[in-house]
Amino acid sequence: MSTQVTTPKRRCRTCDTWLASDNRSTQCTKCTAASTLHAPKLPSQFWAQPALREAFQSRNIGQVFRAYRQAQRPTLPQTTLAAWLDLTQGRISEIERSRRPVTDLERLERWCNALNVPHHLRWFNGGIQEVHDAETQAAQPQSLDDLGLPYATSLPSTVEAVAELGRHDMERRTFLANALFSVAASVAPSRDWLVATLDEAGTARGKISGQQVEAIRRTFGVFQELDVMRGGGHARHQLSAYLTSQVVPLLKSNDPTNDTGRALYEAAAEQLYLLGWMAFDNGEHALAQRYLIQALRLAQAAGSTELGAHVLAGLSDQATLTGHPDHAVQLAKAGRAGLARGHSDACLADLWALQARAEAATGDAKAAIRSVHLSETAFAGVDHSNEPEWARFIDAAYLNGEYAHVFRDLQRPEEAAHFARVSITESERQNRARRGSMAQAALSRAALDSHDLEAAASAGMAAAKLAATVKSSRSTEAVGDLRTRLRDHHDSPAVRDFLDLSGALLPVTSTRV
């Protein structure tokens, strides 16, 4: 008795349709024929897709090949593209993965002709400048109030926004005087950053030297020290001048496509973050938000998930301070999700601490206490010798100060006082007046909540003395808040001394109460 052998059904490797039983190839007849034809002419809308525009901006034909295939529905297989370009599938794969761009003009011209690439997109014959100019013009905000808020797909557009922000800030123009802080403008970029961080990998090219990047990073270290020791209002305009005159020109002539190029973009993102933090500390929230959004975009371009998460920590802190703790929780969570692709225990500890502050502001005590515990756990694993420069001040003085504010908002004065004292001790050891001032203010609040007027006034006086030595609106406002809370107790001699001293040292605070 004979046994009939049934040939298993197979699908076309290109379109996934079932192959005819007599088809012995790996493609259906239609796809086999298509793979031998030339690439079709595509409408202008196809070439205008953001992913394709960025690929052409990279000047790397491998990125163009990948974006071209992925922009089609369904995604074009490498085998089909290889047939159109008279290459092997393996060669297409190699070109797409290579960090070294093809520079042979004859091959680039032949491949672009085969794919019917519009001439104005062919960077190797000068056409790409037309795209740069069009993108830059299209990306210009309709008003200065919009400057710096978009999280641009195009890096040239981002660099132009950075240049404009720095120039206006350096010239001390009041271009954002009437602009309002919008927390929604922070949340949307966090989503864009997270998607890009999870989906993208770094690529490579550039002209800057490692010595130049190191010089930029040393400058960042100097200004970060000035900010920590003397407050955000002290040297921001000098830093914005340095960014505009020294760093932006390098960004315009380099891209993050090799090690030094990526390092340049990361260093620029660090400086933008610091400018945003300085503006934040000085109470200029609209400007701070714009600097931070652009820092987030450059951190993504540099492939630095740790720095991007650090920027989101700053945006989370700002959202809580401006009365949007629900959004602050979202921003902190986005930072932690992105950080899964990187490693920084210091940044993780910071994100948990700021999430705790936001949760405390919403009254969710259970979640806030859990986040404080997770922050402490993460901080226990910190080795600052393996952390970036920007993480140096995520330390015991800073974190315990944040924990003190968490328990202050939860109206748990004993825990608040404990963490405030740790922060005060560490701040005194490092001569950090701003952090010490805010910790003393938290200690004063804890004493007031415990109905100890003398202790509250004593800590308040210490806060005022320290706040008078730095340019920090946060320190000044913390003292102003204490004046508001203590003025009803002016019959106490200790409280009167505090009110008199703080009014003399910080006259701005006395006009607010």
Closest CA to 213 of 263, 253, 270: 263
- pLDDT the model gives residue 167: 73
- pLDDT the model gives residue 38: 73
Query: Within a domain: residue 192?
Result: no
Rounded to the nearest integer, the mean pLDDT of the chain is 81
Closest CA to 247 of 218, 273, 271: 271
Better-scored residue on pLDDT, 127 or 496: 496
Secondary structure of 161-216 as H, E, C letters? HHHHHHHHHHCCCCCCCCCCCCCHHHHHHHHHHHHHHHHCCCCCCCCCCHHHHHHH
- pLDDT the model gives residue 205: 39
Residue 221 tokens, joined: 């270290």
* Distance (Å, whole) CA 502 – CA 476: 10
Query: Within a domain: residue 200?
Result: no
Query: Within a domain: residue 53?
Result: yes
Query: Within a domain: residue 456?
Result: yes
Q: Are 353 and 371 in contact (CB under 8 A)?
A: yes
Q: Which of 91, 119, 147 is the last residue of a domain?
A: 119
- pLDDT the model gives residue 22: 57
DSSP letters, 39-69, are: PPP--HHHHTSHHHHHHHHTT-HHHHHHHHH
Q: Which of 119, 153, 171 is the last residue of a domain?
A: 119
Query: Does the structure show a pLDDT above 80 at 507?
Result: no
Query: Within a domain: residue 411?
Result: yes
* Distance (Å, whole) CA 249 – CA 158: 13
Q: Which of 97, 119, 141 is the last residue of a domain?
A: 119
Better-scored residue on pLDDT, 34 or 462: 462
Question: What mean pLDDT is predicted for residues 348-368?
Answer: 96
Query: Does the structure show a pLDDT above 90 at 421?
Result: yes
- pLDDT the model gives residue 217: 84
484 lies in which domain range? 395-513
Q: Using a pLDDT cut of 70, give the percent of the chain over it.
A: 77
- pLDDT the model gives residue 105: 78
* Distance (Å, whole) CA 240 – CA 303: 23
CATH number, domain containing residue 483:
1.25.40.10
Query: Does the structure show a pLDDT above 80 at 244?
Result: yes
Considering only 21-30, 263-272, 376-385, which range has the smallest mean pLDDT? 21-30
Q: How far is CA 192 from CA 296, 312, 313, 320, 407, in A?
A: 10, 12, 16, 21, 33
Q: How far is CA 290 from CA 16, 241, 429, 498, in A?
A: 47, 17, 34, 37
Q: Are 279 and 287 in contact (CB under 8 A)?
A: yes
- pLDDT the model gives residue 332: 95
Each residue's pLDDT tens digit, 182-232:
555 665 566 556 555 554 433 333 467 888 888 888 888 888 887 777 776
- pLDDT the model gives residue 353: 97
- pLDDT the model gives residue 139: 44
Query: Does the structure show a pLDDT above 50 at 152?
Result: yes
Query: Within a domain: residue 505?
Result: yes
Q: Are 270 and 223 in contact (CB under 8 A)?
A: no
Question: What mean pLDDT is predicted for residues 350-363?
Answer: 95
- pLDDT the model gives residue 255: 83
Residues 6 or more apart whose CB falls under 8 angstroms from that of 336 comprise 309, 348, 351, 352, 355
Q: What type of residue is 103?
A: T
- pLDDT the model gives residue 355: 96
Q: Residue 246 class from Cβ within 10 Å (0-12 exposed, 13-18 middle, 19+ buried)? A: middle
Closest CA to 155 of 68, 89, 253, 234: 253
Query: Does the structure show a pLDDT above 60 at 166?
Result: yes
Query: Within a domain: residue 504?
Result: yes
Query: Does the structure show a pLDDT above 70 at 343?
Result: yes
Query: Does the structure show a pLDDT above 50 at 137?
Result: no
Q: Residue 111 class from Cβ within 10 Å (0-12 exposed, 13-18 middle, 19+ buried)? A: buried
- pLDDT the model gives residue 482: 94
Each residue's pLDDT tens digit, 394-420:
999 999 999 999 999 999 999 999 999
Each residue's pLDDT tens digit, 250-286:
888 888 888 888 999 999 999 999 888 888 888 888 8
Considering only 32-36, 151-155, 316-320, 381-385, which range has the smallest mean pLDDT? 32-36
Q: Residue 16 class from Cβ within 10 Å (0-12 exposed, 13-18 middle, 19+ buried)? A: exposed
CATH number, domain containing residue 53:
1.10.260
The tally of domains found in the chain comes to: 2
Q: Using a pLDDT cut of 90, give the percent of the chain over it.
A: 38
